[in-house]
Amino acid sequence: MSDTVYIRRIKTLNLPCQFHTVRQTTDKVALLDSRATENFLDEEVWRMLAIGCFRLAKPLTVHNVDGTENKQGKIEYYCWLKVHYQGKMLRMHFFLMSLGCDWFILGYPFLYAFNLDVDWRAAKLTGGTVGLETVGFQ
């Protein structure tokens, strides 16, 4: 992983997903972004979930689509979430930052790991629903 990550709003789609916590299962929407270099979780959502996080050894710089550095500053923390798709489950990093109206951004690591079948023209994922689940830490 490089010291810089990108969040881009080109080639994106809103992806319905099921979000499982200890207390409940709810339907949410994640932003599937083929050009985001990582997966992201909104900091406010992270606080609401009360799940653990880890400090990065070196903070990551975030760049906007126009190449300018994001004014929010560097990413310092990440957490783990379980991601489910077509009977496969993986634990994946989600970097914590303010995402505005989005709860989750699923980026290239997600796309690579699950090798999704996406119809970008129709803005539709074929092959099933994505599930996200909190992971407990001890």
Give the mean model confidence (pLDDT) for residues 53-75: 83
Number of domains in the chain: 1
Q: Cα(67)–Cα(44) distance, rounded to whole angstroms?
A: 25
DSSP letter assigned to residue 47: H
Structure confidence by residue, pLDDT tens digits, 123-132: 777 878 888 9
Give whole-number Cα distances, 105 to 2, 23, 57, 98, in Å.
18, 22, 22, 11
Range of the domain at 110: 4-134
Taking the model in full, what pTM does it have?
Answer: 0.84
When pLDDT is cut at 50, 70 and 90, the band that residue 106 belongs to is very high
Say which CATH number the domain at 28 has.
2.40.70.10
Structure confidence by residue, pLDDT tens digits, 8-63: 455 678 888 888 887 778 888 888 888 888 999 999 888 888 788 999 999 998 87
